[in-house]
Chains A and B, each alone.
Chain A
Amino acid sequence: MDRAAAEPVDRSIVIPAESLDTLIGALRDGGYQVWGAQERDGALGLAPLAAAADLPRGRVEAAEAGTVRLTDGPRPAYFDHTLPMQGLKRMVYPARERLYAAGQAMSLEEDPVEAPPIAVLGVRPCDLAALDTLTAVFESGPFVDDRFRQRRAALFLVAVNCMRPAATCFCASMNTGPRAEGGFDLVLDEVMEGDRHVFVVASGSARGRAVLDALAGEEAGQADREAARAGSQACAEAQRRHMPDGVAALLKQSYDDPHWANVAERCLSCANCTLVCPTCFCSTVEDRSSLDGAEAERWRRWDSCFGLDFSYLHGGAVRTETASRYRQWMTHKLSHWHDQFGMSGCVGCGRCIGWCPVGIDITAEAQALAASEQAA
């Protein structure tokens, strides 16, 4: 990213809501395919946008533990919905990809990376944080995943600051939202007051600034900027779920807590949480070969620590029980991630809460563990 570019990038303008198509056009002119949230099969997914009309305007999620439903919201806002069911993960790290083909005599041919320039419109602050988290995993270690790096570099990120939380959101307590502080090319605030419906558009990178400068808009005034900030503040205050403070240290003391068995009575080990999580990065590899065995392929695909064979070591699995697998997932996410990558693995998006078929709530489990440790 060119966040550290020498050119001044901080400019903010106001455009009328109807001009969202102008922004989409400017991105397209810049060579990007434009993606955004779209309603499909009763849920939101990220997909290519033809026009702003494809966005789920006026729709909001009614999300609770174990349920995510779309309903009509109170106003025709473009971005009162919160999150598509998956974040940016699949755009930078496909669920399945062929790593190489191995021909006879072991001639290995690495698959080229397909990284077309894509602009994502409406990225929420939690998903921006998740992208930073994945970047730490794949780009900050002794080995850099060039496949990830190329795909990430090809993304143009148009963030949207949240004005309304879903009931499953807890980004405020993870310090990842609801207002984006960086990591975007452009950021939008949707301001609706009476009949006035505008976007405050601010740039966060040189290439974002170039797109912004191509838009016709007045410089944003203090009133609009304050309205935007107040909207984010209200969104933070409206969040009902919170991660307890000190959860990273708490979990390190909770390896033997009896509460894990309690979670295991409900958890199905279905791996939905790891699939919708925007930071879960675990993968496995698969080998495929032609019937005669002459041609082979090696594929990488997402894996989940909830699978029994995830921890397989000669002789059997290390984590045979659901209790130890849930503990692995939650402790990795909220505690060991700090040790491994210097940050939390949870960004507070709440997807794992809504998409859990039995409604397990990571914030509630953290609070239960805190209470259990206090009682011990």
Chain B
Amino acid sequence: MSDVQTLDRPQAAQSGGMLPSIYEVRRRRRELADCVTLEMAPLEGAPLSFAPGQFTMLYVHGVGEIAVSISGNPGNGEALVQTVRSVGAVSKAVCGLAEGARLGVRGPLGVPWPVEQALGKHLMVVAGGLGLAPTRPIIYWALANRDRLKSISIVYGTRSPDQILYAPQLLGWSNTEGLQVGITVDRAGEDWTGRVGVVTELIAPMLHDPAETVAMLCGPEIMMRFAADALADAGVSQDDVYLSLERNMKCGIGWCGHCQLGPHLLCRDGPVFAYPAVRDLMTVWEL
């Protein structure tokens, strides 16, 4: 079509338009003061199967619909697991859904992380803040494929210790053989014995063999840009850096035009991109 590079989307046929399927909240867990993880299951039909990096559109009766990444284990399709931060009317309503409540789900949508690219190599996941939610399926996948990866590193930065998402799980992973977990926060009180600083400072020390590393980034755009720079400075090829972008989405299926970033429709061509496909676009003013 053009010289615009995008990743491959799943071969499985994608069905459906704007009409959601009905799901029920089976379990609700508060993660942070403003974040909730929901485990959902469809009222009818098979559980949703997805690839790491894909998202759904969640509809709350009478309130609206938002795009939310999937945070569950792709190898365990029992429940649809999604972590939502309450920032607007719809996300607030999603966070407020009680166990047993119903909601609409469309998906899975979007292009997944190309996790196979990491096979036989070192895998580094760099996440900022809530960016750990869309990358957690990569970690589940990596744990299931540990013997096919040289190493797994998780680099996580967030604002403050009370903003560490999935904290018990991160602790568990840090005690898992073959997994390295580095956590840093922007600011902390005296009771924090961990690291304070930006996430990019952890990247170089945690790299094993830059030429044999595949990195996957998710977080604020500014963080991803600096993380990509830090990876490049350390010798990781930009072609081996992938990131997930976010824009306003009304449809999630390429029809509404809201999620454009230059030549890309983020819902259709992304949200996951190889860094070179979006690098220059990310620095264009108000694109």
Contacts and interface: CB of A to CB of B under 8 A. Distances in A.
Interface of A: 99-100, 102, 105-106, 108, 110, 137-138, 141-147, 255-256, 281-285, 287-289, 293, 296, 298, 300, 303, 305, 310-314, 318-321, 323-324, 328, 331-332, 335-336, 338-342
A338 B257 contact: no
Given A105-B102, A106-B102, A293-B62, A314 B255 contact: no
B251 interface: yes
Q: How would you classify the secondary structure of chain A's contact residues: helix, strand, loop or mixed? A: mixed
A108 B42 CA distance: 14
A141 B254 contact: yes
Given A102-B59, A328-B260, 16 more contacts: A105-B102, A106-B103, A141-B253, A141-B268, A255-B287, A256-B284, A283-B250, A285-B65, A285-B250, A285-B251, A288-B62, A298-B18, A311-B258, A314-B87, A314-B88, A318-B286
B257 A282 contact: yes
Nearest to B286: A324
A238 to B, nearest CB: 33
Given A105-B102, A143-B253, A311-B247, A282 B258 contact: yes
Nearest to A146: B17
B256 A283 contact: yes
B40 to A, nearest CB: 12
Contacts of A305: 257
B257 A339 contact: no
Interface of B: 1-2, 4, 9, 14, 16-20, 22, 59, 61-65, 87-88, 102-104, 246-248, 250-251, 253-258, 260, 262-265, 268, 284-287
Contacts of B284: 255-256
Given A143-B254, A339-B1, A313 B286 contact: no
A114 to B, nearest CB: 16
Contacts of B18: 99-100, 285, 298, 300
A313 B246 contact: yes
A143 B17 contact: yes
Contacts of B4: 339
A158 B27 CA distance: 57
A288 B102 CA distance: 18
A296 B62 CA distance: 5
B136 to A, nearest CB: 20
A336 B262 contact: yes
B14 A285 contact: no
Contacts of A338: 1-2
A336 B260 contact: yes
A324 B254 contact: no
B14 A143 contact: yes
A191 to B, nearest CB: 40
Contacts of A144: 17
A311 B257 CA distance: 10
A318 B2 CA distance: 26
A285 B4 CA distance: 29
Contacts of B258: 282, 284, 303, 310-311
Contact of B248 (A287, A289, A300, A311): A311
A108 B102 contact: no
A142 to B, nearest CB: 5
A281 B1 contact: no
